[in-house]
Amino acid sequence: MEETHDEKPAPSSHSRNQILLCFLGMLLMNLVVAIDATALSVAFPAISKDIDASFISIYYTGISFLLAWTVSQPVFASFAALSRRVTISVILVFFMAGIIVSSLAKETWVLILGRAIQGIGAGGIVALTYVLMADLFTLQERAKFISYLTLVYLVGTITGPLIGGGFSDRVSWRWIFWFQMPLTALAMILVPIFTKSVQVPLTKKQILAGIDWVGMTGFGIGLSLFLIIFSASGVSWPWKHWRTIVGLILGALILVATFSLSYLSKMKVRPMIPLVVIKDRTAAINFFGSFSQGMIQCTLVYYLPLFYQTARPFSPLMAGVLLLPMCAISSIFSIVAGQLIARTQRIKRLSVIGWTLFALGLIPLSAGALSVKTPVVGWIFATVLMSIANGFVIVSCPLATQASAEHRSDCAFEERIGIKAMAAALNPFFRALGQVIGVVLGETVISNILKKKLSSDEAANILSIVSQLHSSNARSEQSYLIQAVVDSLNVVWLVLNVVAVVNMLLSFLTKDFKFEPSVKPEPSKVKVDGLDKQ
């Protein structure tokens, strides 16, 4: 593959149409994934009552989904080098299988299993989306198309609770999964047909030999062990119990040993998280930004509905409706961010503004200024700054890491292609890691505080109790329980505020790369599966 610094002519109309159809399919996949990732959050009380699940076990359905989502991303990103089409087809099969298992679940463990299978597919979808976008568009084009992708993702993320609340209120929570089936089936047809494959200067044997099998396996085992033990500590057993100590230490040691072996091994493998990708300061800070953005957004989406259904006598549907302003504002400003970056060709300014607004927006929540007595309008207004910030940050962080990758001067052209692809895939990976950390941390904080303030039975069955807090008599009798939930959530908001402040300070330390014409492969070496792109 020859290196060139000239922008190639735009592809023919026919080829461009196929690229847009592929992108349309990617948008559809991400919409379904985003809806699915958050639709269950408002339905947890109804599900808990239906299948008799405890507070911890019902949140494990969300944790298992997000954990599988996180662990699967580097796996599928590595296999994408073999065949984009085959990889995306396998991913969609996993996602559909998870939908079927979850929709038929009548016991908690079956639902957890189904969500884990679906999470594997969801992680692959998100990872391959960024890899395919790196194939399809130049960096400057990506600023525009990532804003469209972000719009779809944010709409799905925030309308998910509305859809989940509507189904659980009016029909059944199982419809959350059933309605995904036709959309997923359409994506299974559309995306593989129009997926673009890029030839890399490596054989299949070299690609397989270079995959960090030890790193991916160790990461999955170590992270799963650590998070499961962490989420159960203080509730299922004390923090000083041997299970907690041994489990956390063992999980941490597995993670440390895994990455040490990956980086120090003399075998010619590409580490799951290559140091060459993150050693740049701007890239490292923005990868942490993607992690933090995922953590803050997912924690809010998972636990704000709990507040709305506890502090206020709102149904799951109404709790979802109250999240809609976040969707609208974040969506609008994600598009604004993408267009501003495309025009100004600068990223840093929006990143600084975004994290500053995040820090300011979380102050009322973390300071306890919003309570049971706060009007609904007050809660909606408090989310405005955070929504604007989310729109800015979710666009600026991925673009900053990719701009950093494309401005590398310390590596050959072929290596720069790999760095760009890994940078594209690592953004959703770090965001997903932040999401699962946020949900686990929130569940652990809430569970431990509720255990101290409530009886063991009340703490374990808090979601079933919440689903029955609609009458004024029930609310007056359970006022102490309502206050306990609000107090525990205030601690969660405080943690998020600290994370936002740290990112605000770090954003000043990044470089502001200027977009330049992206290097693209020779037309003869790029093809659309089944069709020549000439």
pLDDT of residue 236: 74
Task: Evaluate whether 442 touches 303 at the Cβ level (below 8 Å).
Answer: yes
Sign of CA dihedral 433, 434, 435, 441: positive
CA angle 171, 177, 181 (to 5 degrees): 120
* pTM summary value: 0.77
pLDDT of residue 249: 92
pLDDT of residue 230: 86
pLDDT profile of the chain (534 residues), mean per 10: 36 61 84 84 80 77 85 79 82 94 90 92 84 74 74 77 84 90 86 67 67 79 87 78 88 86 62 73 90 91 81 74 79 84 83 92 77 70 85 88 74 66 76 89 86 72 61 61 82 93 92 60 36 35
13-211+270-532 domain in CATH 1.20.1250.20?
A: yes
For the chain, domain boundaries? 13-211+270-532
pLDDT of residue 287: 92
pLDDT of residue 269: 59
pLDDT of residue 523: 36
> How is the chain split among helix, strand and coil, in percent rounded to 5?
75, 0, 20
SS3 label, residue 192: helix
527: part of which helix (H) or strand (E)? strand 526-528
CA angle 485, 377, 374 (to 5 degrees): 40
pLDDT of residue 467: 59
pLDDT of residue 524: 32
